[in-house]
Amino acid sequence: MFDYDGDTGRARAPQHLRVRGGAMLSGSIDVKTSKNAGVALLCASLLNRGTTTLRRVARIEEVNRILRVLASMGVHYEWLGDDGDLRLTPPERLDLTRIDADAARRTRSIIMFLGPLLHDYTEFELPFAGGCELGDRTVEPHMVALRRFGLAVETSQGVYRATVKDHIDPPGAIVLTERGDTVTENAIMAAARHPVPTVIRNASCNYMVQDLCFFLERLGVRVDGVGTTTITVHGREEIDVAVDYAPSEDPIEAWSLLAAAIVTESEITVRRVPIEFVEIELALTEEMGLVYTRSGEYLAANGRTRLTDLTVFPSPLRAPMDKIHPMPFPGLNIDNLPFFALIASCAEGSTMIHDWVYENRAIYLTELNRLGARVRLLDPHRIYVDGPVHWTGAEVVCPPALRPAVVLLLGMLRARGVSELRHINVIHRGYEQLAERLQRLGAEIEPF
Ligand SMILES: CC(=O)N[C@H]1[C@@H](OP(=O)(O)OP(=O)(O)OC[C@H]2O[C@@H](n3ccc(=O)[nH]c3=O)[C@H](O)[C@@H]2O)O[C@H](CO)[C@@H](O)[C@@H]1O
Ligand SMILES: C=C(OP(=O)(O)O)C(=O)O
């Protein structure tokens, strides 16, 4: 399994990690900005004729892939310094005939080009959306929403062939058939340059959608109802603004780091946690026995998202009374669910975890059994996790899914002896220098 270097486009050799488990972690660590807002904002930059500057963007493969696609269409981008500040300058007209299909097929986020592109292009092709292997992920809700903006899509030979009608009736109120994050973002971006206000119902109000709305406000697009499931977008036909925006911190990275502390029974402080987006995870884990303190709140650089610093302490955990399951925000985030397999393995008793969202993701969590965990697969969506576990080192190949791969790495931090995690490139898709940052907290990890 090879991955590609975002800057050079060259195939990267597989990378592996050797982990000596058992080290206690200590100190504090800052959460980086989110992958999912990062990719949405890169797509949203296509709405703007002016220069888009994004601050502290996570330097991860998912971002690199979208950048490669944007560059292949003629967008000029440059990293400004070493802090992840990124400037994007669009060409007069995009060249949609030369899209980097290889980079595009490696990400699902490419689907979010549809909303911005339908404003200026009447016919274009995009490679099929790809990404982690989590089972089928529908694109139909995107098509249902975007059809109202005149988009028709035929699929053949690995591409979406899009045509856009010249004249459409105002879409008015759109009811999304799924409360998905990227479908909401696509509908918002389609509405952002539509001259008549569009109401979007059953909208996701998750963190990346909020960041996108805050960004659009900076572009002069009024968005009412941010943070609720009914959003009204007051579009502007032309957007030509030199915009500067800083997306907020990643609740999934925050929860990954808190899970690292829990599994290693360490005391660490995770700084810059977007608290609103991990509140349920935290409340649930508190019920399981987690002891933690939180600082006062302060605002993220976007001026809107509330952040806090969380310090977790070694705590004896017990299994929760009820099953753990995800829900659209404000529910427990589906991308945080895999970390509960790890947390439940540290708790006394049996925990049922129900992943109704993805067809394939729960299955990968049984890989924890190689480290001594007791994860029983009831069906493709439900697992029972028995704890507490005596973790032992093992050699494991990363599953082709980001979060389960990180869950394995964190399990290895606790496992007695030496473990090897192979083909960790999948982790680079969503985490910047995770191994190095864990090392700084005291984890004994060595790349090879
Ligand atoms: C780039 C990005 O932002 N990715 C996130 C986004 O992907 P994205 O928005 O693309 O998620 P999908 O549209 O694939 O939805 C995930 C799964 O949930 C199902 N579904 C979703 C909503 C709903 O109301 N009913 C329903 O059944 C879908 O059919 C699909 O099987 O949201 C996912 C679910 O939160 C997260 O895991 C991804 O990290
Ligand atoms: C499933 C995920 O994201 P994506 O939509 O990018 O595949 C994830 O972040 O775990």
Look at residue 11 in the predicted model and tell me its pLDDT. Answer: 52
- The pLDDT score that the predictor gives to residue 131 is 74
**Ranges of the chain whose pLDDT falls below 50:** 1-4
d(CA 181, ligand 1 centre) in Å: 6
Q: Quick one: DSSP state of residue 166? A: S
Q: Which ligand is nearest to the CA of 358?
A: 1
Q: Could you report the per-residue pLDDT of 146-168, keeping only the tens digit for each?
A: 999 999 999 888 888 999 998 88
Cα separation, 72 vs 103, whole angstroms: 10
Domains 3-32+250-447 and 35-245 share a fold: yes
Alpha-carbon torsion (262, 267, 271, 276), positive or negative? positive
385: β partners: 351, 375
Amino acid at the residue 365: L
Between the CA of 179 and the centroid of ligand 1 the distance, in Å, is: 8
Q: What pLDDT sits at residue 13? A: 61
Residues with CB under 6 A from ligand 1: 36, 39, 108-109, 137-138, 178-183, 208, 328, 334-335, 357
**Does domain 35-245 match CATH 3.40.1160.10?**
no
Compute how many other C-beta atoms are within 10 angstroms of the C-beta atom of residue 226: 19
Query: Which pLDDT value is given to residue 1?
Result: 34
Q: Ligand 1 centroid to 219 CA: how many Å?
A: 26
Q: Which ligand has its closest atom nearest to the C-alpha of 202? A: 1
Return the axis-axis angle of helices 181-192 and 35-44, rounded to nearest 10°.
20
User: Which has the closest alpha carbon to 368: 314, 406, 334, 408?
Assistant: 408
The domain locations on the chain are 3-32+250-447, 35-245
Q: Which of 42, 61, 108 to mutate to test the pocket of ligand 2 (most atoms within 8 A of CB)?
A: 108
CATH class, 3-32+250-447 region: alpha beta
